[in-house]
Amino acid sequence: MENIAEKHITDWQIRCVESISIDIIDELEKYDVNLAEWHISERISDFIENVCTYNYDCEEIIKQLDYDIWSEDPMIGRRASSLAQAAIWALEGALYGIDIEEKIKEKIKKHKS
């Protein structure tokens, strides 16, 4: 059975895939460009930074993802120096817990078919 933090992780993954794939699909249709690998990772970084803008949102993300701000981050190896940094690291951990870039590519390919 999925706990609350795992549900929020899944929700954030879905939200990220939906948001980025819609943006990329719109761009591909408007400008008739090819999809580049760096384009997706750049969009993921932008997505994370955009949702971690305000302290309230950062606190909510940290709470939802059950991120321990007092411990060293397992991917980074040190403690976050701010609330925003902790939220960004928590969200990165949640999104990259799956192959998020591949999920976005699949969503784009489904749309093209």
pLDDT tens column, 14-34: 999 999 999 988 888 887 667
Output the pTM of the full model: 0.86
Structural domains of the chain, count? 1
pLDDT of residue 2: 63
pLDDT tier at 109 (50, 70, 90 boundaries)? Answer: confident
Cα R_g (the chain), whole angstroms: 15
Domain carrying residue 91 = 4-112
Give me 82's structure tokens.
Answer: 């701010």
**3-class DSSP state for residue 2?**
coil
- Stretch (H or E) spanning 100: helix 100-112
| pLDDT higher than threshold 60 for residue 1 | no
Percent of the chain with pLDDT over 90: 67
